Structure 1
Amino acid sequence: MHTESRCLHCGPVPPLHVPEHIGAEIVASVVDRITATADAPGTPLWCPWPLPPGWTLTGVAYAGDDRTGVRATAVACAGPAPLGGGPADLVFVAEEPGVGLGTRLAGLSGPDPGPELAGALTDPGPGHPEHVGQARIRVGGHPTPLWLVNSPKDRSAYAGEARGMWLHAIAWPASAGHLLAEDVVLHDLTEWTPPELVYGAPSPYLPGRA
């Protein structure tokens, strides 16, 4: 397994591992990887549960290696756009500071959303083509605010904090961010993986299309 990857802008970063397929066995293997390398409760694997009507789980990924352990995770889902108009995709990222997986998917510069988030706290993205402001979801049973950050026009991106780590939510197209205004609850799959999860075609966004 690779011990180091390098970003041209950020320097050394933990390698990203994206299974080619998705299913219960793949999720179980990623959960095993997270829990096997964690001395304390590891990086959460946040998944909407229950899934919104018509939505499926389309991918999981993690960043890390044998030396550092798992430092970031991602879960991808897909389903009908909340305002109609075709399919939509959502990716949720949990990561330690300095990893940069969430900001890369969000189309932001730098490894952390801090500068963008600081601006969003005072001015949450006016002028964004699909501005939906602040999202309030429940994460691990707790109300958790996420703030809209400035992202490319093809997506909407939110950032916040949960369990002492960055939490990112990135939606394609941008209007799919309205889903986060609904009653979304994130559950940590490392604690329990619902057997009723429905799996779909692998997400095009986790391997790097973003």
Structure 2
Amino acid sequence: MTPPDLMNSEWRCADCGPVSPLQVAERVGPGMVETVTARIGDTPEAVGSPMPLWCLWPLPPGWVMAGAAWAGDDRTGVRATAVACSGPAPLGGGPADLVLVAEEPGVGLGTRFAGIPGPDPGALLADVMADELPGHAENPAHAKVRADGHPAPLWSVKSPTDRSAYVGEARGRWLYAITWPSSAGYLLAEDVVLHDLSEWLPPELVYGAPSPYLHGLV
């Protein structure tokens, strides 16, 4: 990825063209949330309503928040956010990781974590939605989470076998939930509630070791 220069005003990827650079908060703790929310607050008003910073809340038993990141620059403001959580796998057998992404169309941060092609999941989601079940007017959601009290249905899309990827919409933005390993997707079968940390930071939020997934180390 190359930064803006005399020829281009945008960050660019040799393969993808213009991209929004990913910034990962360095230390896990309350300060990282303040760093990201400050950047959200600095986003130009013309961009639209503030980007949410979704996190599991309350956290499932044994789970912790393991990192936060945002995509964007001083010109565009925050165009996507990501929060990492980790904890015991819902079916047992070791640790599990979850990354929640909120993003504007065309950013591609969620597809990057999900391991699927393109900047948006629209084509894959359309394929899932087209596979209607007999006797149903439409394909029911694979996961029914709530985002700040509002239903946010998610559909499972095809991804690499080491993870599961669910996609939907909340507040007019793409909402991704990506889990490692793939079996950890069963976490979303439970009563999952998402809270926007940019609106209120729960003092009881527990923090853990930094997630390697936000840095692309795994």
Q: TM-score, normalised by structure 2?
A: 0.88
Q: Which runs of 5+ in 2 are unaligned?
A: 5-9, 133-140
* Length, aligned pairs only: 201
1:93-142, Cα deviation, whole Å (9 max, x unpaired): 00000000000100000000000100111339xxxxxxxx7111001111
Q: Which runs of 5+ in 1 are unaligned?
A: 125-132
AA partner of residue 170 (structure 1): I
Aligned to 1:21: 27
Structure number with greater Rg is 2
Percentage identity across paired residues of the two chains? 68
How far is the alpha carbon of 1:38 from its aligned partner? 4.5
Aligned to 2:99: 91
1:63-121, Cα deviation, whole Å (9 max, x unpaired): 00110000000000000000001000000000000000000100000000000100111
CA contact (8 A) 2:25 2:35 kept: no
Aligned to 1:106: 114
AA partner of residue 40 (structure 2): I
CA contact (8 A) 1:9 1:110 kept: no
SS for the counterpart of 1:98 is coil
Distance 1:192 1:38 in 2: 21
Aligned to 1:129: none
How far is the alpha carbon of 1:6 from its aligned partner? 2.2
How far is the alpha carbon of 1:41 from its aligned partner? 2.9
Distance 2:160 2:126 in 1: 18
Aligned in 2, Cα 1:38/1:54: closer, same or farther, shift over 3 Å? farther
Q: Is 1:159 paired with 2:167?
A: yes
How far is the alpha carbon of 1:209 from its aligned partner? 2.9
Distance 2:65 2:167 in 1: 21
Aligned to 1:121: 129
Match among 53, 57, 65 for residue 49 of structure 1 = 57
Distance 1:204 1:162 in 2: 26
SS for the counterpart of 1:179 is helix
Q: Is 1:34 paired with 2:44?
A: no
Match among 9, 12, 17 for residue 6 of structure 1 = 12
Aligned in 2, Cα 1:179/1:38: closer, same or farther, shift over 3 Å? farther
Aligned in 2, Cα 1:17/1:86: closer, same or farther, shift over 3 Å? same
Aligned to 2:69: 61
AA partner of residue 41 (structure 1): S
Distance 1:74 1:91 in 2: 7
Aligned to 2:86: 78
**Moved runs in structure 1, 4+ residues, more than 3 A?**
none
Match among 169, 175, 179 for residue 171 of structure 1 = 179
